[in-house]
Amino acid sequence: MDGVNTPLDLATAFAAFDQTWSPRLAAEVNDYDIRLAKFAGEHVWHVHTDTDEFFLVVDGEIEIALREPAGERTVTLPAGSLFVVPRGTYHKPSSRNGAQVLLVEPTGTLSVGDDHDEVPGHVDVTTGHALEVTA
């Protein structure tokens, strides 16, 4: 993973992989991963007990369902929008028509959190995969 000394074009980076719900490691900032992911359909209800999760929609639109003390709600994020899911909040990202999303999480954070519903086969349980961009 480079991304520190070499500029990374996001369109080129997203074009380098097809898998949905399988984040790629684009860069590291201190002890955080900058991950790129393609969303399509639904993820899984999950929670990150000790960390917030940052979402920036690069292309497309996503929804994030949230289970909060006041009840469930859903936030909709069009391209160019960002949102932070607070630590300890169960959430389920989804995208009806597909999206490209930049995520910021502590290095080693599992894509399905610390607790989750049964993981469907289309969701990759990972801490991120190497981003392989050809020049």
In-domain check, residue 125: no
What CATH number is associated with residue 65? Answer: 2.60.120.10
Alpha carbon distance 110, 132 (integer Å): 20
Supply the mean pLDDT for the chain: 95
Domain that residue 106 falls in: 10-117
In-domain check, residue 110: yes
Kindly tell me the burial class for residue 9, based on how many C-beta atoms sit within 10 Å of its own C-beta (0-12, 13-18, 19 or more): exposed
In-domain check, residue 132: no
In-domain check, residue 76: yes
pLDDT digits (tens, 9 = 90+) for 41-94: 999 999 999 999 999 999 999 999 999 999 999 999 999 999 999 999 999 999
Residue 2 above 70 pLDDT? no
User: What spatial distance separates the first Cα and last Cα of the chain, rounded to whole Å?
Assistant: 15
- Write down the pTM of the prediction: 0.94
In-domain check, residue 65: yes
Number of domains observed in the structure of the chain: 1
Question: What does the pLDDT read at residue 6?
Answer: 85
In-domain check, residue 34: yes
Mean pLDDT, residues 29-48 taken together: 97
In-domain check, residue 131: no
Mean pLDDT, residues 112-127 taken together: 94
Residue 3 above 80 pLDDT? no
Q: With bands split at pLDDT 50, 70 and 90, how would you rate the model's confidence at 4? A: low
Question: What does the pLDDT read at residue 69?
Answer: 93
In-domain check, residue 53: yes
Q: How many helices (H) and strands (E) does the chain have?
A: 1, 9
